[in-house]
């Protein structure tokens, strides 16, 4: 049995998409580097939180998206665009990347804010009780949900940067 040629409507196999991801990540990182270079050459200084996008990251659960959990919405595109716009404006912007399962499959798609080299999950002010339990934003089913998650994450990053500048301890979110 001979298979026909691949068409634009044929979805790319999941394995191929995973292999293509590092190239996209490189593109995003080079875009961030270009913005920082232009700001540095132009004499502008970006806030520290925006200058260190690798310190925080929003991870979109790859399994939720591939399984079309919830409404089947993929928040990664909106989060990428929002992150680029925020970084270009000099606002705190976490990196956006694919992540592993958060365990909230029934509440998917999920997005988790992580911090540092070991990607420690972060709870932020404004999360619902269930979101605090899962340490992830749950039921991201549209642009407004994705923008809410990004906004709360960005505000948390800004508060962390501000408290680091003033040497005051960051306020703890009750768990």
Helix (H, G, I), strand (E, B) or coil at 57: strand
* Residues 65 and 105 sit within 8 Å (Cβ to Cβ): no
* Percent of the chain topping pLDDT 90: 49
* Torsional sign, CA 26, 68, 151, 171: negative
Q: How many helices (H) and strands (E) does the chain have?
A: 6, 4
- 63 or 2: which carries more pLDDT confidence? 63
On the question of pLDDT at 114 being above 90, the answer is yes
Three-class SS state of 58: strand
The helix or strand, by DSSP H or E, that contains position 169, with its residue range, turns out to be none
**Digit-coded pLDDT (tens) for 28-76:** 455 555 555 444 444 444 343 333 444 899 999 999 999 998 888 999 9
CB count within 10 Å of CB 16 equals 10
Other C-beta atoms closer than 10 Å to the C-beta of 123 total 18
Q: What is the DSSP letter of 142?
A: S
pLDDT value at 110 more than 70: yes
pTM to 2 decimal places: 0.64
> Domains of the chain: which residue ranges?
47-166
């Amino acid at each position: 049995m001979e298979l026909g040629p691949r068409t634009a409507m044929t979805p790319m196999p999941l394995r191929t998409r995973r292999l293509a991801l590092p190239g996209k990540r490189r593109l995003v990182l080079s875009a961030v580097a270009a913005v920082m270079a232009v700001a540095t050459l132009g004499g502008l200084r970006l806030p520290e939180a925006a200058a260190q996008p690798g310190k925080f990251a929003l991870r979109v659960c790859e399994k939720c998206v591939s399984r079309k959990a919830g409404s089947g919405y993929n928040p990664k595109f909106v989060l990428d665009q929002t992150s680029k716009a925020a970084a270009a404006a000099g606002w705190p912007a976490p990196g956006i990347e694919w992540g592993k399962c958060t365990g909230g499959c029934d509440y998917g798609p999920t997005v988790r804010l992580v911090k540092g080299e070991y990607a420690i999950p972060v709870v932020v002010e404004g999360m619902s009780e269930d979101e605090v339990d899962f340490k992830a934003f749950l039921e991201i089913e549209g642009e407004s949900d994705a923008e809410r998650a990004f906004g709360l994450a960005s505000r948390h990053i800004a508060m962390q940067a501000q408290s680091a500048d003033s040497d005051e301890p960051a306020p703890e979110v009750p768990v």
